Amino acid sequence: MYNFSHEIPEDPRGNSLPLMRCPTNKPITGIVTSDDLIGTNTHYYRGRTIPCDTESCPACSEGFPWRWHSYVSLYSPSSHRTVLFEMTARAAEPLKVYRDAYGTLRGCRLTAKRSNSSPNSQVNIQTQRADLQEIALPAEPNLLEALSIIWNIELPSISVAGIEKQMPRASVRRNQLLRKSTMQKSTTASQSQSPNGDGSSDVDK
Ligand SMILES: [Zn+2]
């Protein structure tokens, strides 16, 4: 059975979350709803950010550099929207401190700000415990599922592969047959992500 509708859905891609990096023009603030962050090595390859495939990575084989990126789900109490917020390892350090202090990142009010107006300038993150008396946080989204949609990679290929440098690490091992079909698809995919941010949307002011 197939379902068609005249209505445009609010979330047209399953459990997707918009990807967001720290904007250059203003700080962003939100409340973390994931229990922890998750990170993996990524490449900027053929016009988009892709995760490093730990078994046979096309970007590694062509000598592309990699950079570890991490992600948390960030909720805006004013807009009631949740985004997947991306950070470098250095930017995410304060989250590690917070998690070690409180045992979870959920409920952490995060404010991220760039050190200047350059899109690649340093991101500084401040954390504090959110006052949740009058805020009902949404349930924790599945970060791996959200990443699999953004990266156009089948979910079974991504797993949490233990802890690396005290951070949960996403592991990407793609089935060769699936990889072929997905890579063909991804060349036509419109969701290219530049490393400087864009595709992004605001969480809060
Ligand atoms: Zn790689």
State in Å: Cα 153 to ligand 1 middle: 14
State in Å: Cα 46 to ligand 1 middle: 13
Does residue 175 surpass a pLDDT of 70?
no
Interval 140-161: pLDDT, tens: 999 988 988 888 887 777 776 6
Count CB atoms within 10 A of the CB of residue 58.
15
State in Å: Cα 138 to ligand 1 middle: 34
Calculate the dihedral angle through the C-alpha atoms of 109, 15, 21, 161, rounding to the nearest 10 degrees. Answer: 90
Interval 65-89: pLDDT, tens: 999 999 999 999 999 999 999 999 9
